[in-house]
Every structure is written in structure tokens, then in C-alpha cells.
Amino acid sequence: MANFASVQEKEDAAVALGTRATHAGLQTTAAAATAGTEVTGTGYARQPLTWAPGTVDGTVTASATFTVPAGVSVQSAFLTTALTGGTFRRSVDAVYNSQPSAGQMTVNFTFTQQT
């Protein structure tokens, strides 16, 4: 594990992660170290991310709003490098219960670089 000499170095490392996770998507499977089953259906699409560094503290944030098709339950959200295909980066728990009509789901991502 890296030891950063300054808070600015932590911030730079956190921002660098954001540049490698440019899009987000939703999965019908639980969060895991590998890609799961991505949501499909009318209205769903991966969303581009813009990471905001905020104050110099080693933390960056991004959010994405998705259309979840009718009848689909979401168990996790994931970070990837592209609108389609790409390289899976990581996933997190994000629950949306199936609805009779399409709905909206916003996922807020936060990454904090540790020392």
C-alpha cells in the first residue's frame, strides 16, 4: 500500500481512479469482485460519470441516474471503462425493487483514497 506524503497526493490518486472508471451500470446480481448480470430492457443504458474532486481530501464523488425497466430488480451498481463492453472495475450494493412500470434510480458513488 502506498504512503502518501501529502493530502494533495491522496487527492491526485483518487482523481486518477475516476479517470479509469468513466461509466456506471446496474446489475441484477449481487455486488462482487467480477462482473455480474447487467440490467437489460427498454430505457436502460449505462451512464457516463463525471468525478468531482471537491476539497483536497482524497475523496471524489460521482452520481448517475438510470431508467430501470418495468419488472426488473437491481441488486448492485458497477463501474466500468466504456458505454458498452469495457473493463469492469468494481461493484457496490444498490437495491431497487421491481416495479410494474419503468422507474428512475440514482446511484451516488464515493471513493476515498486511503494512505
Count the Cβ atoms, other than its own, within 10 Å of residue 46.
20
Buried b (16+ CB within 10 A) or exposed e, 78-102: bbbeeeeebebbbbeebebeeeeee
Indicate if the pLDDT at residue 3 is higher than 70. Answer: no
CA-nearest of 95, 110, 101, 23 to 67 is 101
Q: What is the pTM of this model?
A: 0.88
Q: How far apart are CA 115 and CA 100, in angstroms?
A: 46
What's the CA gap between 32 and 65, in Å, rounded?
Answer: 21
Strands, E assignment, 1-115: 23-27, 47-48, 59-68, 74-80, 88-96, 103-112
For 42-89, how does the pLDDT look when each residue is reduced to its tens digit (9 = 90+)?
A: 999 999 999 988 777 888 899 999 999 999 999 999 999 999 999 999
Read off the pLDDT of residues 8-27 as tens digits, 9 standing for 90 and up.
888 888 888 778 899 999 99
Q: What is the pLDDT of residues 85-106, one digit of tens each?
A: 999 999 999 999 999 999 999 9
